[in-house]
Structure 1
Amino acid sequence: MNYAFQVKKLSTLITFYTTNSSFHVKQLLENPTSEFKQSAYKLFHEIFKHTLPVDFQHACPVDDIFNSVSSSLDLINQSEVALIEATQKWWKEWYFVLTMEHSLSHEKEDAPYSFLSKKMHHPMKRHEMSHYAHLFTILPMPISNVCAKTGDIIRVNQRFIDVFGYTVDDLPNLEQWWVNAYPDPHYRESVKKTWQAALEVGNETGQDIPAHDYHVTCKNGNTITMEVSGINLGDEYIAVFNDATKRLEDQNILRDMAFLDSLTQIANRRRFDEKLSKEFEKAVECGDDLAIILIDIDHFKLFNDRYGHVEGDLCLYNVAQAIACTVSRTEDFVARYGGEEFVVLLPQTDKQGALFIAEHIQKAIEELRIPHEDSFTGYLTLSMGINAIGEDDNCDQKEFVKAADSALYYSKRQGRNCLALS
């Protein structure tokens, strides 16, 4: 079937809700009866109410539809990506339920089913899951059927075995699943609490068991990140596994793009503000040292005026990369602070340690030997301001940065190309 018209309608739906703030989008996705989810189901039902395949060996068309939707959109907006991923997951689950209902139902009803309300109207509620063994063998994602009362794993499908390597003989019950899939005892307890909370939400609302990401250890020892949701059936439930690796990779790429300064290819101010909040809070709680270096390129406006903005951009890139290469510890952090200013954050480092790093940065810039005729040295130079806090210091985050900024201002008043401690 050609879904071009439906793809267009789905793309329009996604685009419409993308205009909301990211906070509002998050609320829409967390609310099981949200207007967006209702609209998504209405469109789903419109497409599939008369088009379910007679031969259930046919592949689920949902992925093809969403591939077309993704191709039609730019997907540069995180809210857009989140809406598409959530809708695709819902459609897969709804399609799965409809196919099972369609294949086993003995009577046809005129009214469309609602998967979003009225627990007993859910088409899955009207059949014993023992009738679905055949369908379990052909579903495209890992599925397990669990008895909610006893914790026994009733059956798993072939895809479950292919992905995880475990059979029902390996996993007769949930306790064995917890041990095998989550060998680390601390993580196992965390997973069990998260899953139990999700089950309770499903029971209380009469809706699907909400999805969470879990790091599942396979029989061969490999670990896969899976998004696990479920269909609540009262005494039983179906756990549905979707590989989250690609989604998380895409999210990380988007996150990196959002926090990367495109010109200098180091972290931007937004990422620095986030990092500073975490490191400052950690330093205060643990009584650790934390140092900051604010860096400014001397006479950069004159450099731009003389050499042009193309050379100015190249200069910013080279300086940023030189700083990043000099600050080599994994825990250290370099960002573009704004304009021709950069910032270095040094956890577990006192003022003397920060001064040592600053001197190495100064030397690295000298070795670049970037010509600057308006500098008294004839080459590009930096001014830096340094501040640090220790266990006995009592200042807030704003004062911490302000002290480094004051030191930077002092170094410029001293003639530039120098370092100053707060």
Structure 2
Amino acid sequence: MSDRLPAHLRLATILVIDPSPTDRAQICDCLKQLPDVRVIAAGEAGEALEVIRSTSPNMILLDSTQKDIDGISLTRAIRHLEQSGISADFAPWTPIVFLSSVADEDVLAQGILAGGDDFISKPVSEVVLLAKVRAMLRIAARQREICHVHRQLKEIATLDSLTGIPNRRYFDDTLATEWKRCLRTETPLSIVLSDVDFFKQFNDIYGHQAGDTCLKAVAGTLSESLFRVEDSVARYGGEEFVAILPGTDAEGALAVAERMRQSALELCIPHASGIDGRLSCSFGVASARPGPHLAPQQLLRFADAGLYAAKRAGRNRVSLSRETLA
């Protein structure tokens, strides 16, 4: 896929920030000797920050003397941009090398503490510049690869390997996050807990491979039943699934659960021991306005009580927990 990218997107981008047009041009000309490198220049801090926001450079060469802001303050601003996560592709660390004609150890120390990584004296030695740039780009490339792998591992850690939807870990983390958000905004939070009816019998009749296929289909149709981006469904364990509906009251959650129930039934998966010969699901709904009198796990227990009531009433139905507080 990377071969299809435009050439400038496959190149390592180096941003040169220098208020002197002469020095800026000289450094850029020197850097253009390097293969697979794209050089961008900026003359002042404001322009440089805009370039960083739009291009996410692989490396920055920064003159410590700026007209509108000193190099140390600019370095702090760059590090703040990285930490704020302005985009998913923005590297959490971009090498910053200071360029300065003033050999002041205190200034150098302040620059490193502010987030700088190295220092090159002016007038710049072409040999030293190219060597340090090569080294920093190697480090930056490895670091970005590590970040990419970390993101992949994080995604894998929160996805259910069978169904491909979020797993119990994701649900626990999301429930805690949404609970705090709804507590802050004083809005309701609802949970829909579902279970595939007579799933043990399904496995006994059709085999575990068919059971896995069934769970994948149910997971997919339950996910498609959620129309808002803030809503999510996860595999809670075994044949159980759970949906989190932030900002949704009991009435709205019942409507969502009924839509999910109908979508599971419309899969038309044969089940000899099921209701009317088809696979179905039961649903328990709980809703509350988060507050000091209630904890997230209590809401989950309420939904479980609703699910139990739906099972006891004959399955393939939705039941609202009597404990609902919204």
TM-score (norm 2): 0.65
Deviation for aligned residue 1:275: 1.0
2:170 is aligned, of 251, 266, 271, to 271
Deviation for aligned residue 1:338: 0.2
- Give unpaired runs (5+ residues) of structure 2: 1-11, 55-71, 99-104, 112-117, 120-135, 322-326
The correspondence of residues 313-324 of structure 1 with structure 2, limited to 5 A, is 313-324=212-223
Alpha-carbon contact 1:224-1:245 (below 8 Å) kept? no
Deviation for aligned residue 1:316: 0.6
- Considering Cα pairs closer than 8 Å and 6+ residues apart, tell me whether 1 or 2 has the greater RCO: 2
Q: Give the 3 Å change call, closer, same or farther, for CA 348–228 of structure 1 in structure 2.
A: same
Q: Deviations over 1:229-269 (max 9, x none)?
A: 44686534648673676554433322221111111111111
2:272 is aligned, of 360, 364, 373, to 373
Q: Give the 3 Å change call, closer, same or farther, for CA 175–370 of structure 1 in structure 2.
A: closer
Deviation for aligned residue 1:144: 5.3
Deviation for aligned residue 1:329: 1.6
Deviation for aligned residue 1:284: 0.7
2:165 corresponds to 1:293: no
2:61 corresponds to 1:196: no
Q: Deviations over 1:295-322 (max 9, x none)?
A: 0011111111111101111111111111
Q: Deviations over 1:58-83 (max 9, x none)?
A: xxxxxxxxxxxxxxxxxxxxxxxxxx
2:94 is aligned to 228
Q: Give the 3 Å change call, closer, same or farther, for CA 268–194 of structure 1 in structure 2.
A: farther
Q: Give the 3 Å change call, closer, same or farther, for CA 259–193 of structure 1 in structure 2.
A: farther
1:165 is aligned to 40
The separation in 1 between residues aligned to 2:165 and 2:308, in whole angstroms, is: 24
The correspondence of residues 236-275 of structure 1 with structure 2, limited to 5 A, is 236=108, 238=118, 242=140, 247-275=146-174
1:54 is aligned to none
3-state secondary structure, aligned to 2:193: strand
Q: Give the 3 Å change call, closer, same or farther, for CA 384–255 of structure 1 in structure 2.
A: same
Q: Deviations over 1:147-179 (max 9, x none)?
A: xxxx9997655369954622xxx324x455335
Q: Deviations over 1:156-205 (max 9, x none)?
A: 55369954622xxx324x4553355348xxxxxxxx98953999xxxxxx
The separation in 2 between residues aligned to 1:316 and 1:325, in whole angstroms, is: 14
The correspondence of residues 119-134 of structure 1 with structure 2, limited to 5 A, is none
- Give unpaired runs (5+ residues) of structure 1: 1-139, 184-191, 200-210, 218-222
The separation in 2 between residues aligned to 1:373 and 1:265, in whole angstroms, is: 27
Deviation for aligned residue 1:398: 1.2
TM-score (norm 1): 0.51
The separation in 1 between residues aligned to 2:234 and 2:196, in whole angstroms, is: 14
The amino acid that maps onto 1:303 is F
1:178 is aligned to 49
2:250 corresponds to 1:351: yes
3-state secondary structure, aligned to 2:273: coil
2:6 is aligned to none
Q: Give the 3 Å change call, closer, same or farther, for CA 215–367 of structure 1 in structure 2.
A: closer
The separation in 2 between residues aligned to 1:357 and 1:390, in whole angstroms, is: 18
3-state secondary structure, aligned to 1:369: coil
Q: Deviations over 1:99-141 (max 9, x none)?
A: xxxxxxxxxxxxxxxxxxxxxxxxxxxxxxxxxxxxxxxxx87
- How much is the aligned-residue C-alpha RMSD, in angstroms? 3.8
Q: Deviations over 1:331-374 (max 9, x none)?
A: 11011000000001111111111111111111111111111111
Alpha-carbon contact 2:13-2:37 (below 8 Å) kept? no
Q: Give the 3 Å change call, closer, same or farther, for CA 353–214 of structure 1 in structure 2.
A: closer
1:6 is aligned to none
Q: Give the 3 Å change call, closer, same or farther, for CA 343–194 of structure 1 in structure 2.
A: farther
3-state secondary structure, aligned to 1:355: helix
2:324 is aligned to none
Q: Give the 3 Å change call, closer, same or farther, for CA 213–419 of structure 1 in structure 2.
A: same
The correspondence of residues 11-410 of structure 1 with structure 2, limited to 5 A, is 142=14, 158=31, 163=38, 165-166=40-41, 170-172=42-44, 174=45, 176-178=47-49, 180-182=51-53, 195-196=75-76, 225-226=90-91, 227-230=93-96, 234-236=106-108, 238=118, 242=140, 247-390=146-289, 394-410=293-309
Alpha-carbon contact 2:189-2:290 (below 8 Å) kept? no
Deviation for aligned residue 1:326: 1.1
Q: Give the 3 Å change call, closer, same or farther, for CA 407–249 of structure 1 in structure 2.
A: same
The amino acid that maps onto 1:196 is R
The separation in 2 between residues aligned to 1:246 and 1:306, in whole angstroms, is: 47
Identity, in percent, stands at 31
The separation in 2 between residues aligned to 1:162 and 1:399, in whole angstroms, is: 56
Q: Give the 3 Å change call, closer, same or farther, for CA 415–393 of structure 1 in structure 2.
A: farther
3-state secondary structure, aligned to 1:344: strand
Deviation for aligned residue 1:396: 1.0
3-state secondary structure, aligned to 1:165: strand
Q: Give the 3 Å change call, closer, same or farther, for CA 152–352 of structure 1 in structure 2.
A: farther
